[in-house]
Amino acid sequence: MIKPHGADELKPLFVADEDERQRLSGEASNLPSIIVSSATAANAVMLGAGYFTPLEGFMNLANAISVATNMKTTDGLFWPVPILNCCQDDHGVTAGTTIALRDPNIDGNPVLAVMEVDAVEEMSEQQQDLITERVYGTLDMAHPGVAAFKSQGRIILSGPIKVLNYSYFERDFASTFRTAQQIRDGITERGWQKVVAFQTRNPMHRAHEELCKMAKDATGADGVLIHMLLGKLKPGDIPAPVRDAAIRKMVELYFPANTVMITGYGFDMLYAGPREAVLHALFRQNAGCTHFIIGRDHAGVGDFYGAFDAQTIFDEEVPKGALKIEIFRADHTAYSKKLDRVVMMRDAPDHTKEDFVLLSGTRVREMLANGEELPVEFARPEVAHILMDYYRQQAA
């Protein structure tokens, strides 16, 4: 199986030994504690689940700047996005202390992880802007990722962590949330050698379905990992339980048996376009996948990125050999009236715009909100009904 990034074996930071975990949980109740941001909690979950192998905890300021500017840590590890614990103030925490990180997303704010604080540093406004612009490509506060990052504060707490639970993800998405090791185990159990991963924060329509099938055939993969984001999204995005139900129905009815794993991961969406695409590829390698689909405006939002910037970054900025996972580059996909099937538009040079069924995400949401049926060329009827039911409930 493909090796994890920067290591021979996964390095999950979750405390797997139950006795040790109980001991740490007991000690944590007496430690100084802070309620972290949702983004920090999600970073802790990803560290705990092994997705961020080989990191041992939260980065310091020097590493954050190095990663933002060069996509490398100060010791040379390739990494595309800073993994930080940012706070509004230092909460009286000093270097050399051990603290409990409390979960902002669960009532009562239970302890999520224990952290050994190596450093407490303050980003200057200029340093924060530098990191923001390099990672997100903009300083515009209308960008949801920029707004979320800047709202967390400029104090950085860095150091190794030990993760005690997976927040609400394991509880609320018991049938979907999986750690990187659990996915690797699932791949091994199925006897798969090549696996192509598909990232989604949205329900999957006909174009997404066919894209997964095209990628599987083109790469010679044994199976597809449909890996959905289960964390926080921007307002207006369809929530994870609805996406989960829609995707499961689509796979049940329209994919051959035993060719798909449906899983999810606990992370808050960054909407960082190209940089987030590289991060997505990296942690799919950690999950054991050999190939990763990068499509149009991957991890983008609004008009902040070019349609294929998330593909060209792998040619222009990712050093050769930095990642072992291979990228499957997808074009615009749409339903061809001429061919009566979904195609990548680059494979249909004889078509005009009128030969395709094209719907924007905005138009789809408008149709669903108005109770209008989605065209069968765009969405499987069974999937469309799940989405329409959700929008009806929202309107009621």
44-56, pLDDT tens digit by residue? 999 999 999 999 9
pTM: 0.94
Q: Are residues 82 and 210 in the same domain?
A: no
**CA pair distance 161, 262, nearest whole angstrom:** 29
Mean pLDDT of 154-182: 96
In sequence order, the β-bridge partners of residue 230 are none
Q: H helices within the chain, ranges in order?
A: 18-28, 38-48, 61-70, 125-136, 144-151, 169-172, 180-190, 206-219, 240-254, 273-286, 309-316, 361-369, 381-395
pLDDT tens by residue, 118-138: 999 999 999 999 999 999 999
Whole-number Å distance between alpha carbons of 234 and 202: 12
| Active-site residue, from 102, 178, 184, 201 | 201
Domain boundary among 167, 186, 212: 167
How many structural domains compose the chain?
2
CB of 313 closer than 8 Å to CB of 274: yes
Note whether residue 231 is domain-resident: yes
DSSP state, residue 176: T
Percentage of residues of the chain with pLDDT beyond 70: 99
Question: Looking at residue 124, what is its pLDDT?
Answer: 98
195-200/223-229 β-pairing: parallel
pLDDT, one tens digit per residue, over 237-265 is: 788 889 999 999 999 999 999 999 999 99
Q: For residue 232, what pLDDT band results from cuts at 50, 70 and 90?
A: confident
Least confident stretch, 156-170, 176-190, 192-206, 315-329: 192-206
Domain boundary pick from 138, 167, 196:
167
Q: Do 384 and 327 sit in the same domain of this protein?
A: yes
User: Could you tell me if 254 and 209 lie in one domain?
Assistant: yes
| CATH assignment of the domain containing 260 | 3.40.50.620
Residue 209 and residue 155 in one domain:
no
> Is 201 a known active-site residue?
yes
Going by their DSSP bridges, the two strands 155-163 and 195-200 should be labelled as unpaired
Residue 395 has pLDDT above 80, yes or no: no
Q: Which of 109, 202, 296, 329 is catalytic?
A: 202
Q: Are residues 258 and 352 both part of a single domain?
A: yes
90-99, 158-167, 223-232, 367-376: least confidently modelled range: 367-376
**Structural domain containing residue 56:** 18-167
The CATH code of the domain that includes 40 is 3.10.400.10
Whether 323 and 378 share a structural domain: yes
Query: How many residues can be counted in the chain?
Result: 396
Q: Average pLDDT in the 376-386 region?
A: 89
Confidence at residue 361, expressed as pLDDT on a 0 to 100 scale: 63
With 90 as the cut, is the pLDDT of residue 90 above it? yes
Same domain, residue pair 118 and 215: no
pLDDT, mean of residues 86-107: 96
Is residue 108, in this structure, part of any structural domain at all? yes
Do 74 and 222 lie in one domain? The reply is no
Task: Say yes or no: 189 and 299 in one domain.
Answer: yes
Boundary residue ending a domain (107, 136, 167)? 167
- Confirm whether 41 is domain-assigned: yes
Q: Are 237 and 366 in contact, with CB atoms under 8 Å apart?
A: no
Same domain, 190 and 153: no
Structure tokens given for 331: 């074009």
> Is 149:136 a contact under the CB 8 Å cutoff?
yes
Terminal CA-CA length for the chain: 49
Q: What is the mean pLDDT of the chain?
A: 94
Q: Which of 201, 222, 224, 220 is nearest to 211 (CA)?
A: 224
Question: Per the structure block, which two tokens stand in for 99?
Answer: 């603290």
